[in-house]
Structure 1
Amino acid sequence: MTDRTGTRVAGSGRSLKTAAEALSALRYLGSAPGGVTAEELGVELGKSAATARYLLNTLCQEGYARREGPAGTYRLSDGPPWGDAWGGSDDTDGAVEASATDEPEPAMARVLDLDDAREALRPMRREDDPVSRYELPESLADAVTELYWRTRQRSYLARWDGDATVIVDARGHQGLARIPDLRERIPVAQAHALAVTKALVATSAEIEELLLAQTDRPAFTATTITTTPGLAAELARVRREGVAIDREEFAEGFCCVGAPILAPDGRVAASIAVSSPARRFAQDSDALTDAVRDVAATAMREWRERVAATGTADHPDHRATDHTGPRRTGPPRR
């Protein structure tokens, strides 16, 4: 099992040391409300500025921190990625001294009632959601690996999960540029700006309706499509051409190409995508687009053939339970 950098997790003292450094960085951020720079964190940890910057960027990607301003100041996020506020799960004096007329909170019931918790976290989930309930075959992990080896760029597999797009698998190698602030769970508020999400949206009437109903879409860069007519036209183009492209729409300096993965019943189940620096994309956009198209087409054909050969179908009622985060399968990341 490997982490995002290609460092083996099991049985590796280095991985434990890296985890400790990340926790130290998190504590240091928490003690500096005015923010810190990579250079300052490097001095604190006794590391180079490059190593400190890597730690900070990782914390940003996972939702624990944010970067502000051209000077590269990093601050702790307003709250942890799982919600609430920092330390919000701890009992406080105020909670102890609550009015006697207040209803006591059934804490154990909240913990045990997973269905209610899931609905609270995903208020836009539909009980009959036909998109997020496919069980993705293991062969799609091979497709992500194939796309990575063909392009040598970061490759992703994503699926819809209630009210967000979730990256369930990824490939890359250490030193390969990452899209800043891209997290494993991509909310609807960002779906208009990324190819990996536009590929899903354009091929699902349910998700498209949800996205087009959003208002006040943020402009992440000067090229972000924010208007409803503009986004509707973009999604129509994706359906015509079979691929979604974002040209520095989410982050300056990064482009992405994505394609839908249709289940054997013809409905979209996932999307596969590759990201690259804008300079590389300007030179190799056709090759990257062709690679995404080819790998997606092969993955869908193999899925159909497997279903035909086994006589079984990956029906939406067979919801996957093991695709909650990026998989770490495939060859070692170099």
Structure 2
Amino acid sequence: MSEKTVLHTLERGLQVLEAVAVADGAATAKVLSRQLGIKLGTCYHLLRTLLASGYVVRLPGGRYDVGHRAASLNRHLQRRSGPSPELTVILTRLHNRTHETSYISGWYHGTLTLQHYISGLHTVSVGNLDVGYTGHMHARASCKAVLAFLPEEQVAAMFKGVELAAVTPHTIVDYDHLTVELARARRQGYAVDREEFSEGVCCVSAPFFDETGSPTGAFTVSVPTARFHVRQVTLTMAVREAASMATGFLRAGHLAVLPAERGKSPGHRDAS
């Protein structure tokens, strides 16, 4: 069998699996055959293959639904792109404390991805920021909070000699200036974005750490600049509490409300 034929067969199998998932337990071979333009015999063959592999299950009445193998793929995707339920609970607490737009981002394979957010009572428009966003790491408070606790050689490999785009007139575009900013974030345990990503909006962010002390994500709140000047201390305490709770969960496996930390962040590495 040629490579082209194998790939075409795989593509049809994936189309069937996707259609089964969309149908939510109502898909039959005849419906799938008509919907996808696949011969009925071929459709049955693909369904038998998916059934044998655990990607679909057969229900009464000749209907099909997704199986445990497909569900495991979804769980893997959630682990990569979305926060765990426990971290989402912490995000909700952060939002309830601040009533501001609150975010959680995760560090994965060398980039920080916005995973989830809860809008504040007074919605703040922050550029094109949305779930899945990974861009402009030098301009976002969440990214600076995580970058501050990475080995310096990793940060240099990402940014040294690379043009840093001026997202706003306030964006740091000089690598040396960025390293000074990261050093400050490392000392104080949180990072601030003062209109560097979106004009008129400031953000404060604190990182959380896994059991090895490596940063694995950050909690952030964003507010209009005028309100940030009034609430900076309160907002900083809130994101640091959220980060401390997340670190505790990742290390101990359970959630606990911790006293607000006034010293260094968990997992903090002294600058040498």
State the TM-score bracket (shorter-chain normalisation): 0.5 to 0.7
State the partner residue of 2:34: none
State the alpha-carbon separation in 2 of the partners of residues 304 and 186 from structure 1.
27
Q: 1:281 aligns with which of 228, 232, 242?
A: 228
Q: Structure 1's 251 and 265: CA in aligned 2 closer, same or farther, altered over 3 A?
A: same
Q: 1:169 aligns with which of 97, 116, 119?
A: 116
- Residue pair 2:108, 2:216 contacting (<8 A) in 1 also: no
Q: 2:168 aligns with which of 195, 215, 221?
A: 221
1:251-290 to 2 correspondences below 5 Å: 251-290=198-237
- Residue pair 1:139, 1:303 contacting (<8 A) in 2 also: no
- Whether 1:302 and 2:245 are equivalent positions in the alignment is no
Q: Structure 1's 268 and 225: CA in aligned 2 closer, same or farther, altered over 3 A?
A: same
- Whether 1:194 and 2:143 are equivalent positions in the alignment is no
Letter in 2 for 1:196: S
Q: 1:209 aligns with which of 156, 161, 164?
A: 156
1:59-208 to 2 correspondences below 5 Å: 108=8, 137-173=84-120, 175-188=122-135, 190-205=136-151, 208=155
Q: Structure 1's 304 and 160: CA in aligned 2 closer, same or farther, altered over 3 A?
A: closer
State the alpha-carbon separation in 2 of the partners of residues 238 and 214 from structure 1.
22
For residues 238-279 of structure 1, the C-alpha deviation after alignment (integer angstroms, 9 at most, x for no partner) is: 111110100000110001111111012211111111111111
- Residue pair 2:141, 2:193 contacting (<8 A) in 1 also: yes
Q: Structure 1's 254 and 173: CA in aligned 2 closer, same or farther, altered over 3 A?
A: closer
State the alpha-carbon separation in 2 of the partners of residues 111 and 241 from structure 1.
51
Q: 2:177 aligns with which of 230, 234, 243?
A: 230
State the alpha-carbon separation in 2 of the partners of residues 161 and 137 from structure 1.
14
Q: Structure 1's 217 and 107: CA in aligned 2 closer, same or farther, altered over 3 A?
A: farther
State the partner residue of 1:322: none
For residues 134-177 of structure 1, the C-alpha deviation after alignment (integer angstroms, 9 at most, x for no partner) is: 99643211111111011101111111233532111211256512
Q: Structure 1's 249 and 173: CA in aligned 2 closer, same or farther, altered over 3 A?
A: closer
State the alpha-carbon separation in 2 of the partners of residues 186 and 214 from structure 1.
23
State the partner residue of 2:67: none
State the partner residue of 1:319: none
- Residue pair 1:165, 1:185 contacting (<8 A) in 2 also: no
Q: Structure 1's 279 and 264: CA in aligned 2 closer, same or farther, altered over 3 A?
A: same
Letter in 2 for 1:228: Y
State the partner residue of 1:66: none
Q: Which ranges of 4 or more aligned residues in structure 1 deviate by more than 6 Å?
A: 109-112, 132-135
Letter in 2 for 1:192: H
State the alpha-carbon separation in 1 of the partners of residues 193 and 170 from structure 2.
9
State the alpha-carbon separation in 2 of the partners of residues 259 and 207 from structure 1.
20
- Residue pair 1:201, 1:211 contacting (<8 A) in 2 also: no
State the alpha-carbon separation in 2 of the partners of residues 173 and 199 from structure 1.
21
Q: Whose Rg is larger?
A: 2
State the alpha-carbon separation in 2 of the partners of residues 234 and 198 from structure 1.
8
- Deviation, 1:219, is 0.8
Give the TM-score normalised by structure 2: 0.60
- Residue pair 1:158, 1:166 contacting (<8 A) in 2 also: yes
- Structure with more relative contact order (C-alpha pairs < 8 Å, separation 6 or more): 1
- Residue pair 1:247, 1:254 contacting (<8 A) in 2 also: yes
State the alpha-carbon separation in 2 of the partners of residues 157 and 286 from structure 1.
19
Structure 1: state its 5+ residue gaps: 1-103, 113-131, 308-334
Q: How many residues align?
A: 187
Moved more, 166-175 or 230-239: 166-175
Structure 2: state its 5+ residue gaps: 13-78, 255-272
Q: 1:245 aligns with which of 184, 192, 197?
A: 192
